[in-house]
A and B are shown apart, each in its own frame.
Chain A
C-alpha cells in the first residue's frame, strides 16, 4: 500500500493525521458550509451585517418552507424528475443493445461504429446547439420536456455505449458460445444470458446518468424556457431573481436543487464510483 499505512508510523504522526483529517475536510467544504449557514439565518441578520456571528434566530424551517411554498421550486423539481427518469431508462436501454452488438459480434465496421460513439461523446455542445435547437423547433418540441429528453437520450447513448460495450467485453465469452451450441436464438442470448449479467453495469450507469442529466444546464436553457418545462438547474436563476439579494432564501433554494443527486450518490455510492472510475484500473 502506498503511502505507508499510518498504523506503521509513530503515535505522534497518527494523532497529527487523525486531527488533520476533519480540519482538511472543513477547509475543503468551506464554501458549501458557508451556504448552509446562510440558509438557516433570518433576513434581519443580513440587513444588520451579521453574516458570520451566531444567527439571531434559527430559521431553517421557515426558509426552506418558503422555498417550497412561495416559489415555483416544486414545479422545477418535478420537471427535473420527469426529464431525468425517462432519459435514464432510454439511454440505458439503447446502450444495452448497442453495447451487446458491439461487444459480442465481430463484423466489419464494429470498431468504427464504437469509435463514432466515443468521439461524439467528446464534442463541444455548441457545435450541436443550432441544428439541435432547430430540429427540436421543427418537430414542435421546443419548450417541452420531450424535446429535451430525446436529445439527452441520444447524447448519453455515446457514453453509455462506451461503458456497456467495455463491460460486456469483460464477460466470459464461453457463456455465449455455450448457449449458441445449445441452439439458443441470438435475441434470447441477449435477454436471458447477457442482460442478467449486466445488472451491475445498469445500476452504475443509471445513477451516473441520473446525476449528469439532473445537473444539465446548457441544454435546459437552449431547449426550454419557463416553469412549464424547465428543470431546476435553469429554474434556479428565475428563483434567484424572484428573491434577489435575499441570501438566506437563495441559499436554501440552491441546496434544495442540489439535494436529489447528492442523495442518489450517498445511497448508491458503490455503483456510482464503480461507474465513474471504469477504466481507471487495467
Chain B
C-alpha cells in the first residue's frame, strides 16, 4: 500500500492554479490578439493620417477636430440617436406579441416558431426583403396603399423617410428576439402569485404591471442589452438597403466609419478609427452600465 504524501511535482502541488491557467490560455490568447488589443490599437491609429499601406503621419487630435466640422458625422450621430430610441420599441412590441401567443391552443408552438423565425434570417436577407417590400412600383407596400387609394411612397428614396424605413426593417427581427425572451420569461412566471393577484382583484393592465412585469425583469434586462447593442451596431441593413443614401441621409457612425476607412472615397484609416473611437465611447456608457449590473448579480450569487 502506498502512502499518499503531498510531495509530488511542482505542477501537482499547484494544480489548482496551473489547471485553470492552462485551460484559459488558448481562449485568452485568441481574445486578446483579436479583440482586446485591437481596441487599443484603434485608439492609437486614430491619431495618425494613414492610408493603411505605408507609414502613417502622426497628427495628434486633428482627426477629431475634423470630425467636429464634418456634416456627415453630424448626420450619422443624429441617425444613431434615432436608431437607439426607435429600436427600443422592439421591447414593448415583443412583449405584446409574447402575451398574444402565450396560450395553449392547437398548433401554437408552430405559430411561436414562425413568429420568431425572422430573427434567424441574416440581416442581409432582411434588408433585401424590405427593400423590395418598399419598392415604389413593384413593392407590396405600395400595392396595398394603392388599394386604399393612396399615392405610392418611395420610402428608401426619400431622405426624410429612408432611415425610418431601415429601422422598421431592423425592428422586425429584433421584435422577434424580444418576443422569445418574454415567452420564456412568461413560462417561468409563478402561477401562485398570479392566483394571489387574481384574488386581490388585479387583472389586465394592473396585473401585468404589478405582478407579471416584476417577474420578467431578467428577460427585460437582456432585451435591453441586446436591443441597445443591436441598435448601435446597425450596419448590414444600411449597407444593403440604401448604402448610406439618398444623399448620405441614412448613414450612422458604424457605416460612416467603414465608408471612410474602406469605402470608395479612399482609405482613411486614421479618420475612420477616430469615428470608431467615438462610437466605442458611446457604447462604453451602455457597456459599463450592463457590466455593473451583471457584476452586482455575480457578487450576490457568490458561493
The B240-293 residues at the A interface (CB cut-off 8 A) are 240, 253-254, 257-258, 261-262, 269, 272-273, 275-277, 279-280, 283, 286-287, 290-291
Indicate if A192 sits at the interface (CB-CB under 8 A): no
Q: List the B residue with the shortest CB-CB distance to A183.
A: B4
| Separation of A187 and B20 alpha carbons in the complex (Å) | 10
When each residue 118-162 of chain A gets 1 if its CB lies under 8 Å from chain B and 0 otherwise, what string results? Answer: 111011111111111111000000000000001101110110010
A-B contact count (CB 8 A): 290
By the criterion CB–CB under 8 Å, are A122 and B184 in contact? no
By the criterion CB–CB under 8 Å, are A116 and B222 in contact? no
| Separation of A43 and B27 alpha carbons in the complex (Å) | 51
A-side interface size class: 35 or more
- Interface window among A28-36, A55-63, A64-72, A197-205: A28-36
Cβ of A105: which chain B residues have Cβ within 8 Å of it?
16, 19-20
Q: How many residues of B contact A (CB 8 A)?
A: 104
The B176-211 residues at the A interface (CB cut-off 8 A) are 177, 180-181, 184-189, 191, 194, 203, 207-208, 211
Indicate if B99 sits at the interface (CB-CB under 8 A): yes
| Separation of A250 and B233 alpha carbons in the complex (Å) | 26
| Separation of A120 and B274 alpha carbons in the complex (Å) | 19
| Separation of A6 and B19 alpha carbons in the complex (Å) | 55
| Separation of A236 and B121 alpha carbons in the complex (Å) | 14
When each residue 264-282 of chain A gets 1 if its CB lies under 8 Å from chain B and 0 otherwise, what string results? Answer: 1110010001001101111
| Separation of A40 and B283 alpha carbons in the complex (Å) | 43
Q: List the B residue with the shortest CB-CB distance to A121.
A: B35
Q: Taking each of A38, A123, A134, A237, which has the highest tally of chain B beta carbons within 10 Å of its own beta carbon?
A: A123
Q: Taking each of B41, B225, B232, B303, which has the highest tally of chain A beta carbons within 10 Å of its own beta carbon?
A: B41
Indicate if B37 sits at the interface (CB-CB under 8 A): yes
Q: Which of B125, B129, B254 contacts A125 (CB 8 A)?
A: B254
Q: Taking each of B38, B184, B295, which has the highest tally of chain A beta carbons within 10 Å of its own beta carbon?
A: B38
